[in-house]
Amino acid sequence: MDQSSPAPKHRLVGWAQQLKPTLLALGLVLVVRTVVAEPYTVPSPSMVPTLLVGDELIGSKFAYGYSKYSSPIGLMPDFSGRLFDKPPERGDVIVFRLPRDPSTTYVKRLIGLPGDRIQMRAGRLYINEAVVPRRAIGSFANDVGGHIIPSTLYMETLPNGREHEIVEISDADHYDNTPIYVVPSKHYFMMGDNRDNSLDSRVAEMEGGVGYVPEENLVARADLLLLSRDPAVTWFDVTHWSHAFRLARVFSHVD
């Protein structure tokens, strides 16, 4: 009788027992990142000064409910609309899937709600024909493609009273004069806080922009910064680590 056959079976049972805690931990992480919160890294300067390149933020998944894009690895079933839907508020900083390429994740500020009329005139934002107030609060060294361009820092006040900082290179740059955008039902209008260095809803999908964002593309509300590191400083450049980590931004709230 062959006495060697039980050994592989015992090994398989042992591996399964060792693998079970790992699979359970991975499953728990996946559930948390689908239902509760998920980390994101900011890759571009379009949301400067609110978000800097290299910021790692936490997005609250439960803030707006759940859609087919809520799972970080595409495990949600294909359905329209949202479950446990909670409408976002004007001024929220939102993580969303790009409408023309849902595999790509963007983060912008919500400016226009369904039915709103949005327009830029001479660099000023108009919502439903009313100019959005802003006040200059200082100068800003704006890094555009590796070139520092002197810019102006403003505090902008949205119609619901929420304030946030924006950066303007000038009031006569790209997309500082636009047609009126009428936000469709169940869609949103997004803009970057770095107004002259942001590809956002002012640019139509067919032109390579964001266009109007469907409600089901909303993924999370950006709430908290976990870490901020200047990606221009490599991990091997130990002598400059003290400048690479922006400690003042750690655990700060995203306004």
Residue 35 has pLDDT above 60, yes or no: no
The pLDDT score that the predictor gives to residue 19 is 61
Residue 152 has pLDDT above 90, yes or no: yes
Residue 1 has pLDDT above 60, yes or no: no
Q: How confident is the model at residue 30 (pLDDT cuts 50, 70, 90)?
A: very low
8 Å CB contact between 233 and 239: no
Residue type, 130: A
User: What is the C-alpha separation between 202 and 102, in angstroms, rounded?
Assistant: 18
Residue 32 has pLDDT above 50, yes or no: no
Higher pLDDT, 74 or 28: 74
Cβ neighbour number for residue 147 with a 10 Å cutoff: 7
User: What is the C-alpha separation between 27 and 7, in angstroms, rounded?
Assistant: 30
The pLDDT score that the predictor gives to residue 71 is 77
pLDDT digits (tens, 9 = 90+) for 78-127: 888 888 899 999 999 999 999 999 999 999 999 999 999 999 999 999 99
pLDDT digits (tens, 9 = 90+) for 173-216: 989 999 999 999 999 999 999 999 999 999 999 999 999 999 99
Q: How confident is the model at residue 36 (pLDDT cuts 50, 70, 90)?
A: low
8 Å CB contact between 120 and 127: no
- What's the helix, strand, coil split of the chain in %, to 5? 20, 35, 40
Three-state SS annotation for 93-144: EEEEEECCEEEEEEEEEEEECCCCEEEEECCEEEECCEECCEEEEEEEEEEE
Average pLDDT for 30-52: 80
Average pLDDT for 9-15: 57
Q: How confident is the model at residue 146 (pLDDT cuts 50, 70, 90)?
A: confident
Q: How confident is the model at residue 34 (pLDDT cuts 50, 70, 90)?
A: low
Which of the residues are catalytic? Answer: 46, 108
User: What is the C-alpha separation between 30 and 24, in angstroms, rounded?
Assistant: 10
Burial class (CB in 10 A: 0-12, 13-18, 19+), 244: middle
For each of the domains in the chain, give its residue range(s) and CATH number, in order of start: 45-249 (2.10.109.10)
pLDDT digits (tens, 9 = 90+) for 209-253: 999 999 999 999 999 999 999 888 877 776 777 778 898 999 999
Chain CA centroid to CA 210, Å: 13
What is residue 86's three-state secondary structure?
Answer: coil
The pLDDT score that the predictor gives to residue 179 is 97
8 Å CB contact between 46 and 197: yes
* Ranges of H-type helices in the chain: 6-35, 241-244
User: What is the C-alpha separation between 172 and 113, in angstroms, rounded?
Assistant: 25
92: its two tokens: 């929220």
User: What is the C-alpha separation between 54 and 40, in angstroms, rounded?
Assistant: 10
The pLDDT score that the predictor gives to residue 242 is 74
Residue 23 has pLDDT above 80, yes or no: no
Please report, in angstroms and rounded to a whole number, the separation of the first and last CA atoms in the chain. 73
